[in-house]
């Protein structure tokens, strides 16, 4: 653009802007300095979240749902939350099936013999200990598999590919997750003897991404595994050579009824026991391949730390309830059990953290329509953390979802998901993937939300700072 033209545009635009700034802009929203101080203290000094996620991942490790490891995690949680000064710390148990992984391996038998890395998907059927051998049949997507005649699939091992790439909002997980979620059922109904999918992940490491799937519509369970992205790409190259490809697949696993899990609940009691409460949390269970640092040790750590910062500041009007949900990964068992027991209670907000620990970049809440004044106050107080309001956002969260469906108003704080699916559900989901500075930004954001929605914090005698 020519400078003269640009100048003319600027001049012609100027009066309109000036006019609007005087007459029609809403009054400025100024954040209460006490809330700003709480936010900035959490951002600069929080140690609670790191302390929780470091302790949980180090002292418990992996926490597969309904196993003895998850039970140890609940014991750890009760001790930790009690030591931090929370009230009403208790476990609410529930029953569920338990699925555990056994021996697993895969190799190409012909035409180019070689090992392929693999991990079973949740609720996979089991191969016999010696494994199965079958010809591979390739599909570019679940839709391609669905369109195939049964005769193309029967007696074979199905391989389903996809094309997920990293995005900030993680939008690909829904669509590109179909091979994992629906692929095994469709393959089984068409008579396949096994199924392997390209991992629902965006990294290029040799780590398979596990995750849950269910056999529905009467499909009989068949062995179902995930291949790391580089191994899936290797398999595509091998298949492109045009010769029949035979795979030997061993995926031993066990499923049984009669497992036990539970939700761990803790509170910062409000001054008014009848005021609608603030429900926040994350999930305590993890997949079994790693220590579940980003999924979801970080989520329980962030929300617990935020509640603790309010506790340190004094007594909120509303009760803050923190839930470390059990058994989210195999299908949201903890969230459903919680809603069954507590869905009819009155909530001022419900929200969860379950998308890692990178910076929160936007938020959305039902309050944008039901309570615009509070929405603008949240937006103003979160803006210094780099968090934008998202007017079109939706409720999310497996754990608080059923409680939201029962009527609780929701808030979603969205972390940057660009690198989330690099480690999600892999052996790489470990503590070193958490950036302590970004973790503190998360704590600051949740602390701000709690402070604004608390109904006011009455400073009393200081709580001792216990860890």
Kindly state the smallest distance separating residue 62's Cβ from Zn ion, in Å. Answer: 13
Out of 46, 203, 296, 428, name the contact with Zn ion by CB under 5 A.
296
Choose between 270 and 330: whose C-beta lies nearer to Zn ion.
Answer: 330
CA dihedral 39, 42, 43, 45 (to 10 degrees): 140
Q: How far is the CB of 296 from Zn ion (least distance, A)?
A: 4
**Which of 138, 214 has the CB closer to Zn ion?**
214
- Site size toward Zn ion (CB under 5 A) is 3
Catalytic residues: 328
The first and second tokens of residue 124, run together, are: 């996979």
354 forms part of the interface with Zn ion (CB under 5 A)? yes
DSSP 200: S
Half-sphere exposure of residue 195: CA atoms within 13 angstroms, side-chain side: 35
**Closer of 131 and 331 to Zn ion (Cβ):** 331
63 vs 308, beta carbon nearer Zn ion? 63
Taking CB under 5 A as the binding criterion, the range among 169-177, 292-300, 432-440, 441-449 that sits at the site for Zn ion is: 292-300
Q: Which stretch binds Zn ion (CB under 5 A): 46-54, 178-186, 212-220, 293-301?
A: 293-301
Which residue number, 309 or 424, has a Cβ lying nearer to Zn ion? 424
**Is residue 358 within the footprint of Zn ion (CB under 5 A)?**
no
Binding range to Zn ion, per CB under 5 A, among 17-25, 136-144, 253-261, 289-297? 289-297
Residue 119, token pair as written in the block: 């991990």
**Is beta strand 194-198 parallel, antiparallel or unpaired with respect to 224-227?**
parallel
Cα end-to-end span (Å), the chain: 60
Are 302 and 296 within 8 A, CB to CB? no
Residue 331 CB, shortest distance to Zn ion, in Å, is: 12
- Give the binding range for Zn ion (CB under 5 A) out of 242-250, 349-357, 367-375, 421-429: 349-357
Q: Provide the minimum distance between the beta carbon of 73 and Zn ion in the complex, in angstroms, as a whole number.
A: 14
Minimum CB distance to Zn ion, residue 337 (Å) = 16
Q: Which residues contact 22 (CB under 8 A, 6 or more apart)?
A: none
* Residue 212 DSSP SS3: strand
For residue 40, give every residue at least 6 positions away whose Cβ sits within 8 Å of its Cβ, in sequence order, or none.
384, 444
Helix, strand or coil, per DSSP, at residue 320 = strand
> Could you say whether residue 288 binds Zn ion (CB under 5 A)?
no
Q: If binding is defined by CB under 5 A, does position 295 make contact with Zn ion?
A: yes
SS (H, E, C) 141-185: CHHHHHHCCHHHCCCCEEEECCCCCCCCCCCHHHHHCHHHHCHHH
> 111-140: which residues touch Zn ion (CB under 5 A)?
none
- Taking the least distance from each CB to Zn ion, the nearer of 231 and 354 is 354
Please state the closest distance from residue 398 (CB atom) to Zn ion, in A. 7
Cα-to-chain-centroid distance, residue 258: 26
Minimum CB distance to Zn ion smaller for 353 or for 365 = 353
Q: List the beta strands (DSSP E) in 17-131.
A: 87-110, 114-116, 119-120
User: Which one of 82-90, 239-247, 353-361, 429-437 is the stretch in contact with Zn ion (CB under 5 A)?
Assistant: 353-361
Smallest gap from residue 23 Cβ to Zn ion (A): 48
Inter-residue contact 38 to 313 (CB < 8 Å):
yes
Q: Is 352 in the site for Zn ion (CB under 5 A)?
A: no
Residue 355 Cβ vs Zn ion, minimum distance, rounded to whole Å: 8
| CB of 23 closer than 8 Å to CB of 278 | no
Would you give the binding string for Zn ion spanning residues 309-338, x where CB under 5 A is met?
A: ------------------------------
Q: Can you tell me whether residue 392 is helix, strand or coil?
A: coil
Helices (H), 196-290: 229-240
Q: For Zn ion, which is the closer residue by CB, 161 or 354?
A: 354
In Å, how far are 270, 357, 447 from 436, measured between CA atoms? 30, 9, 16
Q: What is the CA radius of gyration of the chain?
A: 25
Give 255's strand partners. 99
Listed ranges 132-140, 207-215, 291-299, 362-370: which one lies at the site for Zn ion (CB under 5 A): 291-299
Q: By the criterion CB under 5 A, which residues form the site for Zn ion?
A: 295-296, 354
């Amino acid at each position: 653009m020519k400078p003269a033209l640009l100048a003319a545009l600027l001049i012609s635009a100027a009066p309109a802007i000036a006019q609007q700034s005087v007459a029609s802009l809403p009054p400025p929203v100024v954040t209460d300095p006490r809330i700003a101080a709480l936010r900035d203290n959490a951002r600069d000094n929080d140690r609670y979240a790191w302390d929780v996620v470091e302790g949980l991942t180090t002292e418990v490790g992996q926490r597969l749902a309904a196993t003895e490891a998850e039970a140890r995690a609940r014991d750890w949680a009760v001790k930790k939350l009690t030591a931090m000064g929370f009230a009403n710390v208790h476990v609410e148990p529930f029953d569920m099936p338990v699925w555990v992984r056994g021996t697993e391996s895969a190799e190409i038998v012909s035409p180019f013999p070689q090992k392929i890395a693999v991990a079973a998907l949740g609720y996979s059927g089991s191969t016999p200990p010696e494994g199965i051998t079958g010809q591979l049949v390739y599909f570019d997507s679940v839709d391609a598999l669905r369109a195939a005649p049964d005769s193309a699939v029967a007696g074979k091992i199905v391989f389903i590919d996809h094309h997920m790439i990293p995005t900030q909002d993680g939008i690909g997980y829904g669509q590109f997750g179909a091979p994992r979620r629906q692929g095994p059922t469709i393959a089984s109904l068409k008579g396949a003897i096994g199924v392997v999918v390209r991992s629902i992940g965006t990294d290029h490491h040799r780590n398979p991404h596990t995750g849950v799937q269910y056999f529905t519509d009467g499909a009989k369970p068949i062995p179902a595994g995930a291949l790391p992205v580089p191994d899936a790409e290797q398999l595509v190259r091998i298949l492109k050579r045009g010769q029949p490809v035979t795979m030997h697949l061993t995926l031993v696993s066990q499923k049984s009824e009669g497992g036990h899990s539970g939700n761990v609940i803790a509170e910062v009691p409000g001054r008014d026991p009848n005021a609608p409460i603030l429900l926040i949390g994350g999930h305590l269970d993890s997949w079994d391949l790693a220590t579940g640092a980003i999924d979801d040790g970080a989520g329980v750590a962030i929300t617990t730390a935020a509640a603790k910062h309010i506790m340190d500041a004094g007594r909120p009007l509303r009760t803050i309830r923190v839930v470390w949900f059990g058994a989210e990964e195999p299908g949201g068992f903890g969230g459903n059990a919680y809603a069954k027991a507590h869905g009819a209670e009155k909530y001022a907000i419900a929200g969860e953290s379950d998308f890692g620990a990178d910076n929160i970049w936007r938020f959305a809440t039902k309050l944008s329509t039901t309570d615009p004044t509070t929405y603008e106050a949240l937006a103003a107080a979160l803006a210094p953390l780099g968090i934008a309001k998202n007017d079109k956002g939706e409720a999310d969260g497996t754990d608080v979802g059923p409680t939201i469906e029962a009527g609780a108003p929701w808030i979603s704080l969205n972390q940057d998901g660009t690198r989330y699916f690099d480690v999600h559900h892999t052996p790489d989901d470990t503590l070193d993937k958490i950036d302590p500075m970004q973790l503190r930004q998360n704590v600051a954001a949740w602390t701000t939300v709690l402070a604004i929605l608390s109904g006011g914090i009455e400073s009393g005698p200081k709580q001792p700072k216990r860890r």
